[in-house]
Amino acid sequence: MRDSLKRKIIAVCDAKIAQKGSGVGLSFYAFFANRNDDPELLMEAAEWWIRTHRLDHFEKAVKIKAMVEQVAVR
């Protein structure tokens, strides 16, 4: 996963947790605008979420953030 996507995921998770608390769930669509303006990046996130980790549609933001932070962001 590219570093820009890792940073974006962490930032979105931080914002959602700050806004709604540590129990907030999200899907990989939370990292994108309603308009699909970067299909390659969307597919990269979907691949990581669905194929690589076999995550449910909605997962806790704290879990996703921890998973992404385990892989070093350069």
Q: How many CB atoms lie within 10 A of CB 12?
A: 17
Q: 25: which strand partners?
A: 60
pLDDT of residue 35: 75
Measured CA to CA in angstroms, residue 55 lies from 35, 41, 74 at distances of 23, 18, 24
The predicted-structure confidence for 8-64, as pLDDT tens digits, reads as follows 999 999 999 999 999 999 999 999 987 778 899 999 999 999 999 999 999 999 999
Question: Which two three-digit tokens encode residue 68?
Answer: 């992404």
Q: For the chain, which residues make up each domain, given as ranges?
A: 3-70
pLDDT of residue 36: 77
